[in-house]
Amino acid sequence: MAAIQLAIHIPPEATPDNVTAMLQALVENQIEFANVDDLLQFMMELDIGTRTEVQSIAERMGLLNKQKNSITVSESGRLLIRLKLMIIPEVLHFLIYTGWHEKNPMEFLPAWAYRYICDYLWNNPEYRLSDEQVEQIISEIIVQAETNFEALELGEIAGVSFSAKSIRGARRWLDALTPAVIENNVFARRTFCPPELLLLAIGWVFRDEPDPIDVPLLLTRLQRDAICRLCLLDPKFFDRTLDWLLPRFPKVILSEDKAGFYGRSIRLRKLPSLADIIP
């Protein structure tokens, strides 16, 4: 078996702005492309960019459908551009953070690195992203990538593609979030996040429950932290943010009447999707 090169690099050429602009242009012009070169030519004419990384990451996020002789906007891509502009970067963050799956470990490898960066920062609040600290993150990610993927028994790891440029790529998505998570080059957990992101995060955390629909779901400390890591939210403000969420999406999520002895519970009427957060 050939040795594996782990391409977990996050390309800075792909940003929330140019991914969104590409999707908007494709929907507005109702165009279908035969190949990537035709799509890149179209993007160049609209001054969106000419890098294939934009198309590639949008495809991996499920926003483009790429068939043998066809590239079109997916249903998720069409739903995304119907969101309020402020919410789009939050949903793009969600799609990258949740984009890597252990069942298909060699698919969307940059998403593994992006989630690791987010979790690392969340676990180290008030973290200053100096050159020295960035090098520390890079070293740790490379070691953890080798360790984690070797444990999956995919084969020998020949090397890991990740550098300071990859960190700049991750910053493109993090810097687009509102409220901000990085100011003056310092990461801090948020005291609030948009309810749309919180709803999607709750659904993602409970996705593997045997039967999560229309039953009380206890928000344990483990689950609350997992939701907060995804949302880059300070756990002290979780309940306040959840209270802001609940009246906005009553068709999707309800609160149990009272917090029980073991903590607060919710009830999902369905697993949240992009369609549920369209205004």
Supply the angle between the helices 164-174 and 131-151 in degrees, to the nearest 10. 100
Give the chain's domains with CATH numbers.
Answer: 16-80 (1.10.10), 86-187 (no CATH), 195-277 (1.10.10.1420)
Query: What does each C-alpha distance from 270 to 130, 167, 257 come to in angstroms?
Result: 43, 36, 19
Alpha helices in 175-273 (DSSP H): 195-205, 221-231, 238-245
Residue type, 20: T
The model carries a pTM of 0.95
- The C-alpha angle 125, 224, 211, rounded to 5 degrees, equals 150
pLDDT tens for the chain, 279 residues: list them.
Answer: 568 899 999 999 999 999 999 999 999 988 889 999 999 999 988 888 778 999 999 999 999 999 888 999 999 999 999 999 999 999 999 999 999 999 999 999 999 999 999 999 999 989 999 999 999 999 999 999 999 999 988 888 889 999 999 999 999 999 999 999 999 999 999 999 999 999 999 999 999 888 899 999 999 999 999 999 999 999 999 999 999 999 999 999 999 865 555 678 999 999 999 999 999
